Structure 1
Amino acid sequence: MLNKFKNAFFSVVNNLDTASLDKNNDVGPNGEPKLPLKFPYTRPHFLQLNGEDEIQVAGDHAIRPIIVPRDITKMPWNSGYAEAVNAGKSLRNEDQARIHVGYLERRSRQRIPYSYFALFDGHAGTGAAISASNELHCILHDKLMEVIHHLLPTPEINESTQNGRNQVLWFPEREIGVESFIVGALEATFHEMDNLIAEDRFVYRVTGGCTVVVSLFICGKLFVSNAGDSRAVLCRGRKAFPLSNDFTPETERQRIRKLAALQPELLGGEYTALDFSRRPNRRDIGQRLLYREPHMTGWAYKTVTPEDLKFPVVYGEGKRSRVLATIGVTRGFGDHDLRAPNSSILIKPFLSSQPEVRIVDIEKEAIYDTDVLVMGTDGLWDVTSNERVAESVQRSLEQFPAEDAARYRYRFTSAAQDLVMCSRGKLNERSWRTADSKSATIDDISVFVIPLAAYKEEHLRWKQEMESQSQRQSDHQVSVDIAVNDPSTVESPVMAANQPGRMTADIHTNGIPPVDKAATLLDPEEKAGVVAVAEEDKDTTVGDAAAPPEVIVDPLQPVTDGTSDPEIEDKNESNS
Structure 2
Amino acid sequence: MFLKKKAGIQSTPNKSSSNKRRSSLPNGEGLQLRENPEADGITFQYWALFDGHAGAGAAVVASKLLHHHITDQLQDIVEILKNSAVLPPTCLGEDPETTSSNSRTLTRAASLRGAAGAPGSPSTPPTRFFTEKKVQHESLIVGALENAFKEMDLQIERERSTYNISGGCTSLVVVYLLGKIYVSNAGDSRAIIIRNGEIIPMSSEFTPETERQRLQYLAFIQPHLLGNEFTHLEFPRRVQRKELGKMMLYRDFNMTGWAYKTIEEDDLKFPLIYGEGKKARVMATIGVTRGLGDHDLKVHDSNIYIKPFLSSVPEVRVYDLQQYEHSADDVLVLATDGLWDVLLNEEVSEAVTNFLACCDPDDPHRYTLAAQDLVMRARGVLKDRGWRISNDRLGSGDDISVYVIPLIHGSKQS
Shift of 1:293: 1.9
Over residues 291-340 of structure 1, what are the superposed CA-to-partner deviations in whole Å (9 max), with x where a residue is unaligned? 01222121100111222111000111110000000000000000000000
Alignment-derived partner of residue 103 in structure 1 = 2
> In the alignment, which of 28, 43, 48 is matched to residue 118 of structure 1?
48
Is 1:400 the equivalent of 2:400? no
Corresponding residue number in structure 2 for 1:444? 399
Q: Alpha-carbon deviation of 1:115?
A: 0.4
> Structure 1 residues 229 and 304 mapped into 2: Cα distance closer, same or farther (>3 Å)?
same
Which one of 244, 254, 263 corresponds to residue 295 of structure 1? 254
Give the whole-Å Cα distance in 1 for the aligned partners of 2:56 and 2:309.
21
| Aligned amino acid, residue 267 of structure 2 | D
Shift of 1:278: 2.0
Q: Distance in 1 between matches of 2:4 and 2:163?
A: 33
Write the distance in 2 (CA, Å) between the matches of 1:431 and 1:138. 42
| Alpha-carbon offset, residue 239 of structure 1 | 2.9
> 1: distance between equivalents of 2:87 and 2:306?
48
Shift of 1:172: 5.1
Count of residues in Structure 1 that have an aligned counterpart in Structure 2: 347
CA positional deviation for 1:194: 0.3
Question: Residues 99-154 of structure 1, C-alpha deviation per residue, up to 9 Å, x if partnerless?
Answer: xxx12235943132210000000001000000000000011111111101110039
- 1:327 is matched with 286
- Taking the aligned partners of 1:136 and 1:344, their CA distance within structure 2 comes to 30
The SS at the match of 1:286 is: coil
Q: 1:418 to 1:283 in 2, by over 3 A?
A: same
- Counterpart-to-counterpart distance in 1, 2:266 and 2:4: 60
By how many angstroms is 1:237 displaced? 3.3
1:338–1:450: structure 2 CA closer, same or farther, 3 Å change rule? same
The residue that corresponds to 1:255 in the other structure is 214
Structure 2 matches for 1:330-345, cutoff 5 A? 330-345=289-304
Going from structure 1 to structure 2, the CA distance change for 1:262 and 1:154 (only over 3 Å counts) comes to closer
* Cα distance change of structure 1 residues 167 and 232 upon mapping to structure 2, 3 Å threshold: farther
C-alpha displacement at 1:202, in angstroms? 2.5
Moved more, 264-273 or 363-372: 363-372
**In structure 1, C-alpha distance between the alignment counterparts of 2:78 and 2:260, rounded to whole Å:** 56
> For residues 279-300 of structure 1, what are the alpha-carbon distances to aligned partners after superposition, in whole Å with 9 as ceiling and x for unaligned?
2212222211110122212110
Unaligned runs of 5+ in 1: 1-101, 159-164, 461-576
- Calculate the aligned-residue CA RMSD, in Å: 2.3
Match of 1:281 in 2: 240
CA distance in 2, matches of 1:373, 1:350: 31
User: Which residue is equivalent to 1:383?
Assistant: 342
- Tell me what 1:364 maps to: 323
CA–CA distance in structure 2, aligned partners of residues 398 and 443 of structure 1: 29
1:168–1:124 distance in 2 versus 1, CA, 3 Å: farther
Deviations 1:23-72 (A, max 9, x none): xxxxxxxxxxxxxxxxxxxxxxxxxxxxxxxxxxxxxxxxxxxxxxxxxx
Change in Cα spacing, 1:447 to 1:112, as seen in structure 2 (3 Å) is: same
The C-alpha deviation readout for 1:412-468, integer Å capped at 9, x for no partner, is 11210111011111122372111322111111100000011111102x2xxxxxxxx
Counterpart position of 2:104: none
**Aligned pair partner of 1:210 in 149, 169, 172:** 169
The answer for the alignment partner of 1:349 in structure 2 is 308
Specify whether residues 156 and 242 from structure 1 end up closer, same or farther in structure 2 by C-alpha distance, changes over 3 A only: closer
The amino acid that maps onto 1:316 is: G
Q: 2:345 is aligned with what amino acid?
A: N
1:466-498 deviations in whole A, cap 9, x for unaligned?
xxxxxxxxxxxxxxxxxxxxxxxxxxxxxxxxx
- Give the structure-2-normalised TM-score: 0.80
Decide whether aligned partners of structure 1 residues 238 and 172 sit closer, same or farther in structure 2, where only a CA change above 3 A counts: same
TM-score where L is the length of structure 1 = 0.58
Once residues 397 and 167 of structure 1 are traced to their aligned partners in structure 2, the CA distance between those partners, rounded to angstroms, is 60
Q: Which digits, 9 at most, give the CA deviation of each residue in 1:519-557, with x for residues without a partner? A: xxxxxxxxxxxxxxxxxxxxxxxxxxxxxxxxxxxxxxx
* Letter paired with 2:254: H
More helix by share: 1
Specify the alignment match of 1:503 in structure 2: none
